[in-house]
C-alpha cells in the first residue's frame, strides 16, 4: 500500500493496491500495530453482495 510503503514502491513502474475492505482494515490497524497497542491479527470481512455488481433499483 502506497500510504504505508511509499519509499519502497516509489521506484516501481506499476503498483497494484488492495480493494476497499482490505485497505480499510490495514489503514485502520497499522498505527495500532506500529505502536504495539494490539498484536498483529488475522482479519476476515464478509460481504453477501458485491456493491460493484448491484443493479440500480427503483425500490
Q: Provide the whole-model pTM.
A: 0.60
Q: Which residues contact 9 (CB under 8 A, 6 or more apart)?
A: 2, 15
Neighbours of 30 (CB within 10 A): 13
What is the rounded CA–CA span in Å between residue 2 and residue 27? 11
pLDDT in tens, 1-54: 888 999 999 999 998 888 888 888 889 989 998 999 988 777 777 766 666 666
What is the DSSP code (8-state) at residue 11? T
What is the rounded CA–CA span in Å between residue 26 and residue 18? 10
What is the rounded CA–CA span in Å between residue 25 and residue 43? 8
Amino acid at each position: 500500500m502506497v500510504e504505508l510503503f511509499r519509499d519502497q514502491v516509489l521506484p516501481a513502474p506499476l503498483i497494484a493496491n488492495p480493494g476497499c475492505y482490505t485497505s480499510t482494515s490495514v489503514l485502520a490497524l497499522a498505527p495500532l500495530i506500529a505502536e504495539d497497542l494490539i498484536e498483529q491479527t488475522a482479519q476476515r470481512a464478509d460481504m453477501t453482495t458485491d456493491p460493484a455488481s448491484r443493479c440500480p433499483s427503483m425500490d
